[in-house]
Structure 1
Amino acid sequence: MIHHELRRKLESRVLPHVQTPAQYVGGERNIIVKDHRKLRGKIAVGFPDAYTIGMSHHGLQVLYSMINRRDDWCAERVFMPWPDMEAKLREHNLPLYTLETFTPLNEFDVIGLSLQYEISSPNVLTMVDLGGIPLDAVDRTMADPLLVAGGPCCQNPEPMADVFDVMVTGDGEPALPEVCELWLSLREEARLPDGTFVTGEEGRKQREDALARVAQQLAFAYVPRFYEPQYSDNNRIGSIVRTRDDVPETIAPSVISDLDGMPLPTEPIVPYVNCVHDRIAIEIMRGCPHLCRFCQSTVIKRPLRIREVDTIVDAALESYRSTGFNEISILSLSSSDYPHFAELVKRLHEVFVPLDVNISVPSLRVNDQLRTLPELL
């Protein structure tokens, strides 16, 4: 279900006047477009940075394909527009929209944004504002989408606590569907007989009670409005005080126990424009065996989990057939620590060299594997 009127306005008033308009029109190979009238729920999965950065993020492709495997939900993409595009949207009073159906953000049930680095925080504010959603979480009612954050920055949630309704800790694959389903049921409970929602102070209170139920039922969901940091004399957080007694004191991360059983996105979207990573990415391992104390990732990605060699090679070959990319990158915190590293690289070499496809092996630790890597490649 395409929003044709918004699309027509964009094509006539906006896109001819911005740089690289291809990043704003959707329609790429392997995108998934569904009829909203036949769905139970809709989520916009976004990355608070430019299209060329967000489309290079493997996690977005994972969540996009995972949600869209379901018949009753759709996932659509949204990214931060460049300043010229933002100015044109504001000039013509047009909302930020998703690339699949040109649907404004405020028409979705859930909006999920990935917080990978702190400097993307101002972009979050711009996207929420352009999407027609109140910036402060406490000003929203059940008529507004649920704003969810995930990613490493959720380990230090307070800088963005006023903006997000829920911040998810741990693995997103098992957590996001649970958040979506619970919020959809809470929204349906709150809906009036005519299909609308209560507004004003009563509507805000109703949303607060719904978010309390999210915090109570989902152990990995941090709802910032219910936790107040207490600062010490040196401006560090000394403690966190709950503002409601019925929400949990501690938050436990969401964890995938069987990474090998979690499907990989084997039909990734092929962008129209050059992106930072124009290649297929295959996650081979999550976590790291070394547990270095200075590394945040090794702490938040525990425990160590791997995918089997056959799973990786089959997914890489299927991804190549559906995209035509000429490079495959194996992805992990420390690829050379993958326990079957030599076998994996040898198998990938055997399969893809005849197809003129390069194998990229980033994230290498200086260890014995480096001695054999030139031979293997």
Structure 2
Amino acid sequence: MRPLVEPGPELTDAQRERYSRHLLLPEVGETGQRRLLASRVLVVGAGGLGSPALLYLAAAGVGTIGVVDDDVVETSNLQRQVLHGSTDVGRAKVDSAADAVARLDPAITVVRHHERLTRDSAPRVVAGYDLVLDGSDTFETRYLVNDVLVAAGTPWVWGAVLRFDGHVSVFDPAGPTYRDLFPTAPPPGSVPSCGEAGVLGGVCAAVASVMVTEAVKLITGAGRPLLGRVLVHDALAMTWRELPLRPDPRRTGPEDLPTVTAAELLAAPGPVVVDVREPDERAAGAVPGSVHVPLAQVLADPSGLPPGPVVLHCARGSRSAQALRAVLSTGRTDVVHLEGGFAAWRAAGGPVG
């Protein structure tokens, strides 16, 4: 896959020292570390999987980390949720998580979403993130995350644990998704929860470490991601098996959206270009003459764009597709989005302001 995130500013001397072991890796290097620092990753759940994942994302230098969880820390969590300590019992998990990340690296921005994901709230919560790590522990939330991210065009890393077993995969709206792996939820009560069946803490760490490794690979473009593959971990036998996963041809994919390529836009300038990225992304480089309307603002008021024709763009095309769906729902027909986003614009030799 193409890297999810464009590189941010040049590294400082302090950052080169902190991330020196990453800089030694040819597959990451300085450019990859700048991508990590510019990235925005949302973690669903600050529990058994979210706890180690949040720490390793922060340690890797993911610049902005969102955490969504409506729960509080309980004593029974501490056996596996290593983000939290005894003094955090009774605190909101998002607050405990933010403090833990700050102790590790105060330069990392943590966005706290102290709420439960619902059909109404999820599109707002996921907006603006490049990647999502789903460590939720209910089928309801997993299917919700799947459906919202397919609609938003955002890739995600999924993990699940129970007893001594774990599963990990990478999903993308254009490829296999969670509904290809599990088309329908099991009957209520047929699958026990961790609270009913138990889970070994080390299994959470093993699965979460794979999830973070996949996140780093997706952000930097290193290696081969787990797209179309599911890893199955059996800690008792200490084995990892790989299962192939293909999109179900009966599944309805995301609708076709009108696009323009970077080459077409360069050859025929004239449309108003609207940048839906975040301010820090735009500060690192922008299409000259483009108008800045962040995604959250477009979603809040899809009818508020300049008169057309309009070309929407983000970093890679996922957020602009989400914005485009909202705008098209108002009845406008003179709006498209830039295929491949700002990354494609730069690759095509487009000027950068």
| Same fold, judged at TM 0.5 (above) | no
Please report the TM-score for the alignment, with normalisation by the length of structure 2.
0.28
